A and B are shown apart, each in its own frame.
Chain A
Amino acid sequence: MLSYIVRRLMFLPVVLFGITVLIFALISTLGPWTRVATFIPSPDAERHVDLEAIIRKYNLDDPPLKMYTRWVNNLLHGNLGWSQSSHMTVMEAIKRRFPATLELTLFAVIPVIIGGILLGVISSVYHNKPIDHTTRIMAITLWSMPDFVLGLAVLMVGYGVLGWFPPGRLSAWAELEVLKESFRSFTGMHTIDSLLNLRFDIFWDALRHIIAPVFTLACLWWAFMLRITRSSMLDVLNQDYVRTARAKGLAENVVIKKHALGNALIPVTTVAGNMLLGLLGGVMIVETVFNYPGLGLLTSTAATRLDVPCVVGVALFYAIILVLVNLVVDLLYSVIDPRVRLE
């Protein structure tokens, strides 16, 4: 097991090497101006002064190999470059925005997993009955709903008509409160921090802001989860050991809970990993719709302003998370399914 983890972690540098080479090759096709911003981690790039001087100062006319090694060296020291669209270093921007996105994702994962699995099981137990048809049609309709269409609709109703769920992350007054000295920041996630600070008014405000984007994200992935659980359950319910369990005279509810569900959830674990990654990527659109200042909004703003260093930094950050999450999923997989031997 340990050697497996080590070997998988060793794959991380390989992946990062591949990605950095790929990105470097793409960037090399750019004009010198954008390159300046990509390779130097300071606001110098913003003052449109003497381009020649900057190029000389940072040796930007070096041969590609030398540039690449220097760039990677910078990356390894946490130097991701200067983001023109957010006026700070990319590292700083990611550090500030990531908690918001993590908060959003965590909130969305809970209803998706609970609701998706529950309804998936119900749907499979009543296979081809009216309940099954209804949930299936609901799921497939939601799954066909592009996130921005659903998001716009939710915003229109939840904020425009009802006035309950405003866009953004906090109201202006709460924003000021959070920045005060007396408010201690533990995680950067406002809902949790406000509870730890015993500020229930801020908690309520943060909650009001996060519900609409969470709902939008959850709807889409809930449908996905339901479909996977359903087909996996159907598969298991047709297995011989389930028939044996029934033949022994066990109550149907015991058969489902004790014999079928555990095995049916195995493929669901893999999917849950993919879902977490999909959520992290999918927040780009949802955050933009709801003007929620997380990594997704950072990326999409940066991309529309052609702020390459920022987008590249976020991409590298995501790549690391992706490899780590996949590793965790594989490990979980071996815990849940004893037939899986990690080698």
Chain B
Amino acid sequence: MEIFRRLVKNRISLFGLILLLFFVLIAVFAPLLAPPKEGSDPYRIPRRGWTLEPTPPSAKYPLGLTQGQYDIYYGIVWGTRTAFRVGIIVITFRALIGIILGSISAYYGGVLDEILMRFTDIFMSFPYLIGVVVFVSIFGPGLNNVMVPLIALGWMPYARMIRGNILAIKQEEYVLAARAIGVSDFKIITRHILPNSIFPVLIQASMQIGSIVISVSGLSFLGLGAPEGYADWGQMLSFARNWMLGEQGNVLKYWFTVVYPGLAMVLFVLSWNLIGDAFRDIMDPRIQA
């Protein structure tokens, strides 16, 4: 609570919090803001026509229609849900794998620790984005096929952090005491060690949501992630690629295809980074003005 109070007190992080709240509201009220057609998949952006050329904003479609007459406003609203979903799923699984492997490694030590840490090293020497591309080129594009390798190649820092934290806590008296009275290993890990070492890791993890959304959208932009017409910001921006140079004499004719989805992405990521930045200052007692 103390942390939250300080986040609100700092003007920069307060702005971040408000921005984030705004996106949460959009995601929650998406069905009201942009009602999908009865019986159709809400994550498919409706098409308002069949011509290829984007249509500029009008009273009916306030943010305009991008290539193929996909509704930009609808895509941005439902794309917010996609962004949260992707970010939260990836982070949760990364943290989970990291916590499990890190705590096993630290608690048991010895050969098991050595093996698990070498394993971590190997995963870390794999170029992250390239690894995702390898996976996608083998199993084909798709949002799930992007998320799986992002999880598989992203848990290592958390495993290391948890391991470090546990190694420090393991020697604390209350853990030694618990072991002395014969508490089982599993119970010591889950009841005594994890609650005291997990918090900083979870915070760190949640601040990564912004950058994960960038990675996933980037892959969608390359055509490796969400399929055409899916409510995903990166996918919408890949449409913009064909139109951003406008036409002779009016180069900025299709500005709305880049600006609106781009703005949504930047603000979303910005909100996480603003909070994360303030958070780091709060957590680090050495940087006090």
- Contact of B122 with A303 in the complex, beta carbons under 8 Å: no
Tell whether A78 is near chain B: CB-to-CB under 8 Å: no
Q: Which residues of B contact A234 (CB under 8 A)?
A: 286-287
Q: Name the one of B118, B126, B240, B266 contacting A14, with C-beta atoms under 8 angstroms.
A: B118
Q: Name the one of B137, B138, B270, B286 contacting A144, with C-beta atoms under 8 angstroms.
A: B270
Which B residues from 232 to 278 make CB contacts under 8 A with A?
234, 237, 240-241, 244-246, 251-252, 255, 258, 262, 265-266, 269-270, 272-274, 277
- Contact of B289 with A127 in the complex, beta carbons under 8 Å: yes
Tell whether B133 is near chain A: CB-to-CB under 8 Å: yes
Q: Which residues of B contact A144 (CB under 8 A)?
A: 210, 266, 269-270, 272-273
Q: Which residues of B contact A306 (CB under 8 A)?
A: 137-138, 140
**A18-26, A51-59, A189-197, A250-258 - interface stretch:** A18-26
Q: Name the one of A14, A30, A152, A161 contacting B262, with C-beta atoms under 8 angstroms.
A: A152
Q: Name the one of B136, B141, B286 contacting A235, with C-beta atoms under 8 angstroms.
A: B286
- Contact of B262 with A281 in the complex, beta carbons under 8 Å: no
Tell whether B214 is near chain A: CB-to-CB under 8 Å: yes
For residue B238, give the distance in angstroms from its CB to the closest CB of chain A.
Answer: 8
SS class, residues of chain A in contact with chain B? helix
- Contact of A304 with B223 in the complex, beta carbons under 8 Å: yes
For residue B256, give the distance in angstroms from its CB to the closest CB of chain A.
Answer: 12
Q: Which residues of B contact A27 (CB under 8 A)?
A: 138
Q: Which residues of B contact A285 (CB under 8 A)?
A: 218, 221-222
For residue A233, give the distance in angstroms from its CB to the closest CB of chain B.
Answer: 10
SS class, residues of chain B in contact with chain A? helix
- Contact of A128 with B277 in the complex, beta carbons under 8 Å: no
For residue A220, give the distance in angstroms from its CB to the closest CB of chain B.
Answer: 10
Q: Which residues of B contact A215 (CB under 8 A)?
A: none
- Contact of B246 with A160 in the complex, beta carbons under 8 Å: yes
Tell whether A36 is near chain B: CB-to-CB under 8 Å: no
Report how many residues on chain A are interfacial, defined by Cβ distance under 8 Å.
61
Which B residues from 202 to 234 make CB contacts under 8 A with A?
210, 214, 217-218, 221-224, 234
Known: A238-B286, A280-B127. A303 touches B237 (CB 8 A): no
Query: How many residue pairs between the two chains, A and B, have CB atoms under 8 Å in the bound complex?
Result: 154
- Contact of B129 with A26 in the complex, beta carbons under 8 Å: no
Q: Which residues of B contact A153 (CB under 8 A)?
A: 258, 262
Known: A30-B138, A152-B258, A315-B134. A289 touches B223 (CB 8 A): no
Q: Which residues of B contact A200 (CB under 8 A)?
A: none
Q: Which residues of A contact B240 (CB under 8 A)?
A: 152
Q: Which residues of B contact A26 (CB under 8 A)?
A: 134-135, 138-139
Q: Which residues of B contact A241 (CB under 8 A)?
A: none
Tell whether B164 is near chain A: CB-to-CB under 8 Å: no
Known: A140-B274, A235-B287. A146 touches B266 (CB 8 A): yes
Tell whether A117 is near chain B: CB-to-CB under 8 Å: no
- Contact of B141 with A304 in the complex, beta carbons under 8 Å: yes
For residue B206, give the distance in angstroms from its CB to the closest CB of chain A.
Answer: 16
**A107-115, A179-187, A316-324 - interface stretch:** A316-324
Complex Cα distance A217/B121, Å? 27
Tell whether B111 is near chain A: CB-to-CB under 8 Å: no
Q: Name the one of A282, A303, A322 contacting B133, with C-beta atoms under 8 angstroms.
A: A303
Q: Name the one of B118, B133, B221, B269 contacting A299, with C-beta atoms under 8 angstroms.
A: B133
- Contact of A322 with B266 in the complex, beta carbons under 8 Å: no
User: What are the 8 A-B residue pairs with the smallest beta carbon separation, nearest first?
Assistant: A18-B122, A144-B270, A160-B251, A144-B269, A149-B262, A318-B127, A303-B137, A281-B129
Besides the known contacts A14-B118, A15-B122, 12 further A-B residue pairs in the complex with CB atoms under 8 A apart:
A11-B121, A29-B139, A141-B270, A143-B273, A146-B218, A152-B262, A153-B258, A235-B287, A300-B222, A303-B133, A304-B224, A315-B134
